[in-house]
A and B are shown apart, each in its own frame.
Chain A
Amino acid sequence: METLYAITVGTLTACSVFLILRGRSFPIVIGLTMLSYAVNLFLFSTGRLIVNELPIVGASDNTTDPLPQALVLTAIVIGFAMTAYSIILAVRVRGEIGSDEVNDYNYAEQDGQR
């Protein structure tokens, strides 16, 4: 299970890094979303992967750690808000500048006449 889990997190991270390095805002937002999934999964695994156990000390021999679950919950909430914000921002940039290029070279030339 650990191997499968690690491969999943690794693949997600690799894909997200690839997408974030694109030059357009839409792939970047998708990449950021995937990165936050990967991070959430990774955080979840820091309490060690234990199946079918309660997060209560003394309830069984092998309890699972409740703290990473709480951390993931917080991270999901924050990540969700951030994703929403970055989507709105990307849409506004597309609307106002007329291009979703993150570094618009035509724009850079007009920089002096701002």
Chain B
Amino acid sequence: MLTKHLITLPIVIPMLAALLQLLPWGERAQYYRRIIGIVASSLTLIVAIMLVITVHTEIVVYALGSWQAPFGIVLVADKLSALMVLLTAVLALPVLIYACHGEDNLGSHFQALFQFQVLGIMGAFLTGDLFNLFVFFEILLISSYALLMHGGGKAKLRATLHYVVLNLTGSALFLISLGVLYGITGTLNMADMAGKVALLQGDDAAIARAGGMILFIVFALKSALLPLYFWLPQAYANTTGTVAALFAIMTKVGIYAIVRVFTLIFGADAGEVAFLGYGWLWWLGLLTILIGALGVLGSRDIRQVVAYLVLVSVGTMLTTLSLGHNDAISALLFYLVHSTLVTGALFLLVDMIAEQRGKTASRIVKGRKMAQHQLLGGLFFLAAITVIGIPPLSGFISKLFILEAARTGAQVAWLWPLILGATFLMMIALSRAGSRMFWHTLEGKPNDVSHPYWQHMAVVLLLLGAVALTVFAQAFSGFTSAIAEQLANPQGYISQVLDGGQHE
């Protein structure tokens, strides 16, 4: 029974946990809420590992309410979905551990909102239906609106207002594109739509292209591609460390959606609408890398530096996706996992640094010594070399895979200088920030704010993920190439969804 319903658990567990956390728990409410949260996140992690093991041999399709595929809503777990679910769970647990040491008290209902956010993200990864994807997007957005304001303050309020308005407009565009695609294909099931879209011709194909491109804009907004990234640095730099760390997965939701929709529905087999948007991805991705790197260099605030690092990673991933072949997608997924873990760790770390520095906070200026100076400095160094891509850790390996994926002369000529140049700029910016904050300290006794070791543990756990990626790089890149293989041949996915869901 458990294996049959396994795929629903990553959605059900956070939901139940959040509902339980909303109950009035009496005087020590936060204590019980934390326990529920940690237990739920640990369970989700176990379930996610089981799911990855399960999808190794088959694509799991779960027809909700036993309504068969093109008519009912299905949950689908192929290798890509399972990987993303696992990544979310791996990120969420350390972030929650970190949050449980005080940050969740800054505003009300942090714990429940956190679980709702995880619920939305998991749902977006697992659903096989476009409208359902919209609904899960809304769930994760509603919780993210509230989380972004967590802790209050003017800067956060303003960033949240921009974020909310942008995303509400994005949701409207999402609905318009769904309407267009539904009007032309008569289905919202992704697998079914992939088959229907391939048969379109002439004017119908043109309308489908329009719908697909609007969808592309929506996902580009979520993943912060070039002209649509302006919300990101402000939002990520102003919110609390835990929320920013959890949001490390949010841009990846957008990237997942692009990968899923534009390989399955608008992939190689899509007839007249094949490879929709790939030309745009290439140039916009390259420009995103450039702007992100300049932003990293120009930021005067370490939180903002990390926020722009997210932007560079988004650009790198989407450019790699536009190369299109299997090795590129494999490299993209490797980089995705690496960058999520490391950015999560960096956001938590920077949060601690800002708190320990006191008045100078996260600004890159000379300041007082921190209470746990050596420890934080060491962790920052480790995280920085990983995110820049200096050997030996996962940043280096994943960038190597990406550089290898560029095949033709033109691709090499554009991709290599930009990625290596961005790496160079990141190195300058991070070494400047690190030396300013850790070496050029004022004389006198250090600040007395310190953090419990559990919080350092959370950062170490995330960085250990990066170490594990390095040690098991061979095995993991085998897994990502298997994912790329599965994405390149969507027939298996389509037939499994349309025929396999009936037996439930």
**Chain A interfacial positions (CB closer than 8 Å to B):** 20, 25, 28, 32, 35-36, 38-39, 42-43, 45-48, 67-68, 71, 74-75, 78, 81-82, 85-86, 89-90, 92-93, 96-97, 102, 104, 107, 111-112, 114
Contacts and interface: CB of A to CB of B under 8 A. Distances in A.
Contact of B164 (A42, A47, A85, A97): A85
Interface of B is mostly: helix
Given A46-B179, A102-B165, 20 more contacts: A20-B165, A20-B169, A32-B165, A42-B175, A42-B176, A43-B175, A43-B178, A43-B179, A45-B179, A48-B183, A71-B178, A71-B179, A71-B182, A82-B168, A85-B142, A89-B149, A89-B160, A111-B155, A112-B363, A114-B155
A107 B168 contact: no
Given A78-B135, A93-B157, A46 B183 contact: yes
Contact of B154 (A38, A78, A96): A96
26 contacts: A20-B169, A25-B161, A28-B165, A32-B172, A35-B168, A35-B169, A35-B172, A36-B172, A39-B179, A42-B176, A43-B179, A47-B183, A67-B188, A75-B175, A78-B138, A86-B168, A89-B160, A89-B161, A90-B161, A93-B157, A96-B157, A97-B157, A97-B158, A102-B161, A102-B165, A104-B158
A81 B142 contact: yes
A106 B149 CA distance: 22
Nearest to B183: A46
Given A46-B182, A68-B182, A82 B142 contact: yes
Given A32-B165, A86-B168, A92-B157, A74 B135 contact: yes
A93 B161 contact: yes
A62 B171 CA distance: 32
B95 interface: no
Contacts of B175: 39, 42-43, 75
B145 interface: yes
B164 A71 contact: no
Nearest to A111: B155
B165 A46 contact: no
* B131, B135, B168: most-surrounded residue (chain A CB, <10 A): B168
A109 B412 CA distance: 42
A46 B180 contact: yes
Nearest to A98: B154
Given A85-B145, A86-B164, A93 B169 contact: no
Contact of A97 (B135, B154, B168, B179): B154
A29 to B, nearest CB: 8
A53 B42 CA distance: 52
Q: Which 6 A-B pairs have the closest CB atoms?
A: A46-B183, A46-B179, A43-B179, A39-B175, A35-B172, A39-B172
Interface in B75-103: none
B37 to A, nearest CB: 23
B162 interface: yes
Nearest to A68: B182
A64 B165 CA distance: 34
A15 B145 CA distance: 26
Contacts of B138: 78, 82
A7 B500 CA distance: 44
Interface string B143-173: 0010001000011011011101100110110
A104 to B, nearest CB: 8
Contacts of B182: 46, 67-68, 71
A17 to B, nearest CB: 9
Contacts of A114: 155
Contacts of B183: 45-48
B408 to A, nearest CB: 40
Interface string B178-194: 11101100001000000
* B172, B178, B180: most-surrounded residue (chain A CB, <10 A): B172
Contacts of B169: 20, 32, 35
Contacts of B164: 85-86, 89
A107 B363 CA distance: 18
A39 B176 contact: yes
B414 to A, nearest CB: 34
Contacts of A86: 164-165, 168
